[in-house]
Amino acid sequence: MKDIIIYGAGGFGREVACMIHKINKAKPTWNLKGFIDDGKPAGETVSHFGIVLGNIDTLNRWKSDIAVVLSMGTPHAMMKVRDRIDNERISFPNLIDPSFSVADDKTFSIGEGNIIKGHCSVTTGVTIGNFNVLNGFVNIGHDVHIGDCNVFMPGARVSGEVTIGNGNLFGADCFIKQLIKIGSHVTISPLSALLTKPKDGMTYIGNPAKIFKF
């Protein structure tokens, strides 16, 4: 079994700890050492799964090989933390729930640092980059290409031949129409249906989804 640390001691971090426990029940893989968090003191109990070991400085000084999973719920937070980690002893495994379904594993590729929670599925010709979160019951259609640091909330659905860039947030139960190209830092609100190409950095709400100006 390999040592692993969860970065983020909030609710999502505890969910990731539960998933590690589930993975280990299927096949013993990970020895969870604890949590890293920049907003909580070292030694604080997070749950029965462990305590806060320190902050990012603790992690960057870690002297042995260690796997780290980034348990952030937003793309911005994930990208910010990833840019601050510079310890060469750290690796970023993919954490994948045993229920994950791949229709065509010969045409499926995935990078590093991804979290795929329960009952997600992809079909054929799907590519997933690095540090993405598929947060339960996410369905990805054929020939979809996903970049880095995207977060898909529970129930998000992506139709075939969609291209997704970096740092996008897909709300719960949203729908993305086929053939759409999504750039970077787009937010699709819960229950929204994106039917046309969005502009980078904008938030879309509704069915059909339209730009929402704060």
Cis bond before residue 198 (omega within 30° of 0) = no
Question: Could you tell me if 92 and 68 are in contact, meaning their C-beta atoms sit under 8 angstroms apart?
Answer: yes
CA dist 87 and 59 (Å) reads 7
Residue 214 has pLDDT above 90, yes or no: no
For 43, left (φ over 0), alpha (ψ -120 to 50), or beta?
A: left
Give the residue-averaged pLDDT of 48-53: 96
Residue 164 has pLDDT above 90, yes or no: yes
**In the numeric block, which tokens belong to residue 110?**
């995935």
Q: How far apart are the first and last CA of the chain?
A: 48
Percentage of the chain exceeding pLDDT 90: 99
Question: Could you tell me if 129 and 147 are in contact, meaning their C-beta atoms sit under 8 angstroms apart?
Answer: yes
Q: What is the pLDDT of residues 190-212, one digit of tens each?
A: 999 999 999 999 999 999 999 99
Average pLDDT value over all residues in the chain: 97
Q: What is the pLDDT of residue 213?
A: 84
Collapsed DSSP state (helix, strand, coil) of residue 182: strand
Give the residue-averaged pLDDT of 85-102: 97
Q: What is the pLDDT of residues 100-152, one digit of tens each?
A: 999 999 999 999 999 999 999 999 999 999 999 999 999 999 999 999 999 99
**In the numeric block, which tokens belong to residue 200?**
């980078």
Question: Could you tell me if 95 and 69 are in contact, meaning their C-beta atoms sit under 8 angstroms apart?
Answer: yes
